[in-house]
Amino acid sequence: MEKLKNLEKRLTKLSSFALAFSGGTDSTLLLALAKKIRPKKFIAITIASQFVPKLEIDFAKKIARSIGVQHICLDVDILTRENIVCNTMERCYFCKQQKFSMIRNAAKKYGISTLVHGANLDDLKDFRPGLKAAEALGFISPLVDAGFSKKEVRIFSRQIGLETWNKASQSCLATRITYNEKITLEKLGMVEESENFLKGLGFNHIRVRCHGKTARIEVDPGQIDRLLDSNIRQKVSLQFLKLGFVKTSIDIDGYKTGGFFDTKPLQ
């Protein structure tokens, strides 16, 4: 627990801060520690946009209530930003720039200048342009500074009794759409509903990649055989057709982060 105590000390030195709170494993650990150390001023801020599943926003609100911290949720119409919806490989940078600017402005109204987000060491290994935006806007990442990997975040979250310790990693719905393919509300809705359907069937670590009207399903490698079961496969195929996908495929490599990095649309 020495590493966790070191993280607490780092947060205590901040005196007051605002947290970019998604309700995920990383930011929930920081939220719980903020509650414990009781900084002079603290607020958790969630940004709701068309890129975030409604279930995730509702979950973030529930977690904040259960821990008992001040929490606000701000709405943004992210689809009005052309440099985001055109979906280049810098989309994440522009999106985080918009959202983290909103968090910074909201924190300022509460007299808070220190800004925190929940990146961990493993995030630095992935293709994440949004981290540059966070750094440019003055956000700090205590989990990175304290040397926390994702595995360690989960271990310590479990030790202190957080229900998010084994929560599946999430990413915004825009990551499901092929780079340079325009992001629309229709496509985001198709992805969200199809992933919710798969979760309802008991699958986890899901990604439904959208290649135009073709869906490419990623699930945990250990669940691929179940997905290929004739009964399940037929249910999925029929539902995805109803949602607007004309073709559905299954990625035999299973779920992986950064699934659209340096990829091209399916022909």
Give 247's strand partners.
214
pLDDT attached to residue 189: 97
The Cα 223–Cα 73 span in angstroms is 35
How many CB atoms are located within 10 Å of the residue 58 CB? 13
Q: In angstroms, how far is CA 18 from the centroid of its own chain?
A: 18
pLDDT score recorded for residue 258: 56
φ/ψ of residue 115, rounded to 5: -120, 135
pLDDT for 267 equals 37
Whether the Cβ atoms of residue 231 and residue 267 lie closer than 8 Å to each other: no
pTM (2 d.p.): 0.91
**Nearest CA to 195 among 146, 255, 136, 152?**
255
pLDDT at 262: 40
Q: Assess contact for 238 and 189: CB atoms under 8 A.
A: no
Q: Which of 158, 122, 156 is nearest to 4 (CA)?
A: 156
Element of type H or E holding 247: strand 247-250
Give pLDDT tens digits along the chain (267 positions): 889 999 999 999 999 999 999 999 999 999 999 999 999 999 999 999 999 999 999 999 999 999 999 999 999 999 999 999 999 999 999 999 999 999 999 999 999 999 999 999 999 988 889 999 999 999 999 999 999 999 999 999 999 999 999 998 888 999 999 999 999 999 999 999 999 999 999 998 899 999 999 999 999 999 999 999 999 999 999 999 999 999 999 999 999 765 544 444 433
Number of H helices, E strands in the chain: 11, 8
Of 263, 76, 81, 94, residue with least CA distance to 181: 263
Tokens of 206: 């899901």
Going from the C-alpha of 35 to that of each of 67, 99, 145, 253, the distances in angstroms are 7, 24, 20, 40
